[in-house]
Amino acid sequence: MTYLAQELERTENRFNLTQRQIKGNKLVRKKKDQGAGGRALTEQVASQGIWYARMSLGNPPQEIEVDLDMLVSDFYVVTTTSRSGSRFDDFFSESIIKTSESPCRDCKISTDLLYLPTSNTSMLLSFPQCRPSKFSLHTLEPSGSLLGLAPSEHLSQTGSTSLFDQLIDAGAIKRQIFSLMLINGQDGVISAGGTVAKAVDSVIAQTEAQLNSLGSAEKEIVAAKPPDRAKDLAPLVKRAKGKHGHEILSRQADWEESWAWTRVQGAEGWWQVLMRGVWVDGSKVLQNQAVVIDVSPDSAARKNLADLDQINSPFILAPPLAAKAFYASISGSRPLPPPYSNFYVYPCLNPPTLHFEFAFTNFPFMQGGRGAEWSGIPGGKLSLGRLRPGSGYCVGAVVETRMGIKEERDEVVQGEKRGSRSVGGRGGLGGNGMRDVWVIGEGFFRGVGGIFDFKERRVGFRAY
């Protein structure tokens, strides 16, 4: 439980790196200070447990692993003196164009050829290339790259033009959208400019056909390895120590109508939408809940973890009242005493059937995971594991978060000390705005596809 409590604190800290500000006539999220709230850019790349895509940069092409982050919006490359990680060495690129423009500390704007996945085409891409000082400890960090997927330029850490804006300008994609689905704990599908629907359906059909023709021992091998045809499809893989998932690729340009769409709400910056309902065992127990979508765990916190597989899936963060109502609908569940009062347990032999409702459509929650090793985990897919060895209670992945509450209280106190009702005195306008907001991510997208539309500011869902 100590490990889980530490992980929860680190997860919550990712959302405390921004604050809400009034920009013109709208409310936006902005980073608090340089380097994403004080973290160096090197601390956000090449970490364990992160979903990444493979791309090629430079001439001759150098393959790089690009980490995905849904809370920032820029694309940048970090090159350190360390030989670990995924390194882009500009010395070996004949096509690179360097400038003296410095958007942030230790970074210079460069332009080079980007080769689009599963395509023979390339385009000139402008990006910050960051090199920590040789006198800094950050130069010993792994090299890597990061692709921000947040729908707002205000969350750029480097002030550079986003990758999607450049893809549109170059005519590489027609629509400023991306879609993703996580097949299991190691493999996924991502598509820029289109949807993954046909690619995923194709892979699933092939896998199921092979499973039906094999014995039980062979089925485990096929479930863990995608069919050969998937090699023709854009990469999304989860990084883990000593092992990597298989690539399942897609460059589908199709525009499907079979998606349930919901508008992005709240302060501009993150993919925040309205969840119409939470269903437990066929009963609607919560309705009209604000949700932030984030499939990227805390990269900075996970660099030194000994084993990422200690938990079966990332947390689903729920506000206090929502968490209480959620577990009150599960027979036999109860909260743990302090200092672990954010966590709830339920009988391992009584796992619930869960659905989240978006756009008046119910989607299965913690019921995906084709090819994932769920069978050996007590308490079903909602479980983070037994409370203790031999216990009949399992720790639930839906965890109570108090983000926004303490921060707003601190701002009110500071406002009173200043003797004015400024931003702090108005109840947390300058805070992260995460009070009464859920955070859903990897656990939900196993078996559910998502499509994210930058221009129309909407998110679509589809069950597979």
Q: Which residues of 84-101 are buried (b: 16+ CB within 10 A; e: fewer)?
A: ebbbbebeebeebeeeee
DSSP E strands in 246-307: the ranges are 260-263, 272-280, 283-293
Pairwise CA distance, residues 364 & 448, whole Å: 8
Q: Is the pLDDT of residue 332 over 80?
A: yes
Pairwise CA distance, residues 68 & 163, whole Å: 12
Q: Is the pLDDT of residue 359 over 80?
A: yes
- pLDDT for residue 242: 47
Query: Hey, is 461 helix, strand or coil?
Result: strand
Q: Percent of the chain scored above 70 by pLDDT?
A: 71
Pairwise CA distance, residues 171 & 43, whole Å: 33
What confidence tens digit (pLDDT) does each residue in 378-398 have? 888 888 889 998 899 999 999
- Measured between alpha carbons, how far is residue 206 from residues 236, 249, 380 in Å? 19, 14, 26
Whether the bond into 235 is cis, omega within 30 of 0: no
DSSP E strands in 193-253: the ranges are 235-240, 243-244
What is the mean pLDDT of the segment spanning 398-419? Answer: 65
The mean pLDDT value of the chain amounts to 78
For residues 286 and 82, the model is more confident at 286
What is the mean pLDDT of the segment spanning 163-171? Answer: 90
Residue type, 205: A
What is the mean pLDDT of the segment spanning 302-311? Answer: 34
Query: Hey, is 32 helix, strand or coil?
Result: coil
| Strand-pair category, 144-148 with 260-263 | unpaired
Q: How many CB atoms lie under 10 A from the CB of residue 202?
A: 17
Q: What values do phi and psi take at 62, rounded to 5? A: -115, 125
Task: Report residue 249's pLDDT band, with 50, 70 and 90 as the boundaries.
Answer: very low
| Choice among 11-20, 305-314, 440-449 with the minimum mean pLDDT | 305-314
Pairwise CA distance, residues 381 & 379, whole Å: 7
For residues 401 and 50, the model is more confident at 401
Query: Hey, is 66 helix, strand or coil?
Result: strand
Q: How many CB atoms lie under 10 A from the CB of residue 384?
A: 24
Which single residue is written with the structure tokens 């999220």?
A: 29
Task: Report residue 189's pLDDT band, with 50, 70 and 90 as the boundaries.
Answer: confident
How would you write 418-439 as a 3-class SS string?
CCCCCCHHHCCCCCCCCCCEEE
What confidence tens digit (pLDDT) does each residue in 197-227 have? 565 556 556 666 666 666 554 545 444 444 4
Pairwise CA distance, residues 412 & 422, whole Å: 9
Pairwise CA distance, residues 21 & 269, whole Å: 11
What is the mean pLDDT of the segment spanning 183-191? Answer: 76
| Choice among 276-290, 327-341, 346-360, 435-449 with the minimum mean pLDDT | 435-449
Q: What is the torsional sign of CA 297, 71, 434, 449?
A: negative
- pLDDT for residue 222: 43
What is the mean pLDDT of the segment spanning 169-196? Answer: 81
Pairwise CA distance, residues 135 & 123, whole Å: 35
CA–CA–CA angle 102, 103, 109 (5° rounding): 60
What confidence tens digit (pLDDT) does each residue in 107-120 have? 999 999 998 776 66
Pairwise CA distance, residues 172 & 375, whole Å: 42
